[in-house]
């Protein structure tokens, strides 16, 4: 079982981004994250409400624009 810390911020680094999720623990599905997850993971929050969370883990490459289509998306639905 993974343990760690997490936090949210409401800074909007790009259009259509609600904020960021920063965590020291891997997320569900981390083994499929092509970008890779480590001790300090930062994800863009694309949707965040009572039913859904969508996160985007952008590539850390400086050769690409800050907001590009290259990264790892994860979609989570709440179970009620």
Q: Which tens digit of pLDDT belongs to each residue from 28-52?
A: 888 878 778 877 788 889 998 999 9
Residue 55 domain-assigned? Answer: yes
Q: What percent of the chain has pLDDT over 90?
A: 10
Q: How many distinct structural domains can be found in the chain?
A: 1
Instruction: Give the number of C-alpha atoms closer than 13 A to the C-alpha of residue 14, restricted to the C-beta side.
Output: 14
Residue 31 domain-assigned? Answer: yes
What is the chain's mean pLDDT, rounded? 79
Query: Residue 62's pLDDT is what?
Result: 56
Residue 21 domain-assigned? Answer: yes
Residue 47 domain-assigned? Answer: yes
pLDDT band at 59 (very low <50, low <70, confident <90, very high): confident
Residue 1 domain-assigned? Answer: no
pLDDT band at 20 (very low <50, low <70, confident <90, very high): confident
Boundaries of domain holding 62 = 6-77
CA-CA distance, 42 to 1, in Å (whole number)?
A: 20
Residue 38 domain-assigned? Answer: yes
């Amino acid at each position: 079982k993974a343990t760690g810390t997490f936090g949210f911020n409401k800074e909007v680094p790009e259009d259509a981004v609600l904020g960021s999720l920063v965590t020291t623990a891997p997320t569900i599905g981390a083994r499929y994250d092509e970008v890779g997850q480590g001790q300090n993971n930062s994800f863009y929050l694309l949707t965040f409400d009572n039913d859904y969370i969508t996160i985007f883990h952008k590539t850390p490459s400086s050769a690409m624009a800050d907001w590009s289509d290259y990264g790892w998306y994860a979609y989570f639905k709440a179970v009620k």
